[in-house]
Amino acid sequence: MAENWASSVDLHLELNVAEGRRNGLEHALRAAIRDGRLAAGARLPSTRALAAELDLARNTVSAAYDQLTDEGYLLARQGSRTEVAGLTGAVGDPAGDVPSHDLRPGHETVPRHDLRPGTPDATHFPIGPWLRASRHALTRAPAEAFGYGDPRGRVELRTALADYLGRARGVVAAPERIVITSGSLQALAILGRVLPGTGPVAMEDPGMPMHQEVMRLAGQAVVPLPVDDDGARIDLLARTGARAVVLTPTHQYPTGVMLHLARRHALIDWARATGGLVIEDDYDGEFRYDRQPVGAIQGIAPDHVVYLGTASKSVAPAVRLAWMVLPPHLVLPAADAKRRTDYQTEALGQLTLAEMITRYDYDRHIRASRQRYHARRDLLISRLEPRVGRPLSGYALQGIAAGLHALISLSEEGPSEHDIIARAAARGLALEGLTEHWLDGREEPGRATGIMIGYGAPGDSAYRAALDVLIGVLSWP
């Protein structure tokens, strides 16, 4: 049985026989390990199987394995198959450096406690509903679903989303106006490539740094649009000369404020008067707690607004499904840009999510998640209440009516953002500050500072433990 397993390992090596068979094999294995084709922990074929594959003597392969084990490239344990070692400067590596391929996900330092924002609770992924929906969708899927398809995405998901977004978010959506993407960042990148007209793109300041980078990489100039307690300063939009604006109006990221109703109408007036485009990022619009549901701006002016939604917060980032609801004139350019990017988003996940939506499993999951995050939000408030809102306490909590994060704003009298993050890190708690979300990423006199608290990612018990550490950090003399 073991030999059968080893024989099934497919290992591609390029041997230079001019170096000699053993030397050529050693060189090929070193090269494969150094450039990452053989990652740390990868199991190698047995000496018998590799010898047969490469038409070498078995003792030649054994000698090469022994040499690379001595050099630290391979690990050979009694009773176990030979595997690639995690390199920390192997003998024979002239630089003595850790190759870049050894810095793989999972090998970076993981904090003991993590309250950084932007991630939902993966421990509550809807495994049962997802499996049932997947089985049902796959058994009913036509054969063409497993081939190359429409760059806009599977019609099943676009149809399901049109219904869901209309009833749950007030979006005016038709299947033919929806384009499915592999995450919201890809959607932004596509929009950055197809925006009509000339002029920069206005983005909230503070805002999402990654969104700014994506727009710049798409060739767009980015200008800041200040944010205050009523959301983005729409009254300043005309001064920027922007032809498009990217907003998070339902729960501004990172401050958590909602765009005021008067500003919503002013935004639409700007778009209609100038022909400008509004890009509405509704990244966590399903999660609201102390207020009535707020519909999408797109529902007011669907011909002037691109609506962006994502399953990354509602289900999990690993699903890699997002969607754009586009004005008619942008559908074909966006679909063509999607085709030229990766042709299409993988179809099996689309079919599964479509099935979950049509069976209302998605709605049930959203409601359960909303209740869970509401309880976590309430626990955060209860733990911080004795420490926020008091004169000279140095802390104030905002953005708590919705979403998966809150902002602890800081005053000049209290500890600095840098000090709090450093104290937390010393106790194994990862936090994120407001400063890095300014467009220029700098802390300047008079500019707001704060600590963002993400209550989505940790599991239930881990969240309580993280709050204990947070309270200790904020109570520091």
**How big is the chain, counted in residues?**
477
* pLDDT confidence bin for 298, thresholds 50/70/90: very high
Cα 187 from Cα 183, distance rounded (Å): 7
Q: What is the pLDDT of residues 16-51, one digit of tens each?
A: 767 788 888 988 888 888 877 888 888 888 888 888
Q: What is the pLDDT of residues 151-174, one digit of tens each?
A: 999 999 999 999 999 999 999 999
Cα 47 from Cα 64, distance rounded (Å): 10
Task: Pick the range with the lowest mean pLDDT from 4-13, 15-24, 45-54, 230-239.
Answer: 4-13
**With 0-12 CB in 10 A as exposed, 13-18 as middle and 19+ as buried, what is 88?**
exposed
Check the CA dihedral 210-215-217-218 and report its sign: positive
* pLDDT confidence bin for 386, thresholds 50/70/90: low
**Is the model more confident about 456 or about 98?**
456
- Does residue 103 register a pLDDT over 70? no
Cis peptide before 254 (omega within 30 of 0): yes
Q: Which of 354, 302, 307 is nearest to 172 (CA)?
A: 302
| Whole-number average pLDDT of the chain | 86
* pLDDT confidence bin for 139, thresholds 50/70/90: very high
Map out the domains of the chain with their CATH numbers.
2-102 (1.10.10.10), 113-122+365-474 (3.90.1150.10), 126-361 (3.40.640.10)
Q: What is the pLDDT of residues 262-279, one digit of tens each?
A: 999 999 999 999 999 999
Reduce the secondary structure of the chain to three states and give it as a string: CHHHHHHCCCCCCCCCHHHCHHHHHHHHHHHHHHCCCCCCCCECCCHHHHHHHHCCCHHHHHHHHHHHHHHCCEECCCCCCCEECCCCCCCCCCCCCCCHHHCCCCCCCCCCEECCCCCCCHHHCCHHHHHHHHHHHHHHCCHHHHCCCCCCCCHHHHHHHHHHHHHHHCCCCCHHHEEEECCHHHHHHHHHHHCCCCCCEEEEECCCHHHHHHHHHCCCCEEEEEEECCEECHHHHHHHCCCEEEECCCCCCCCCCCCCHHHHHHHHHHHHHHCCEEEEECCCCCCECCCCCCCCHHHCCCCCEEEEEEHHHHCCHHHCCEEEECCHHHHHHHHHHHHHHHCCCCHHHHHHHHHHHHCCHHHHHHHHHHHHHHHHHHHHHHHHHHHCCCCCCCEEEECCCECCEEEEEECCCCCCHHHHHHHHHHCCEECEECHHHCCCCCCCCCCCCEEEEECCCCCHHHHHHHHHHHHHHHCCC
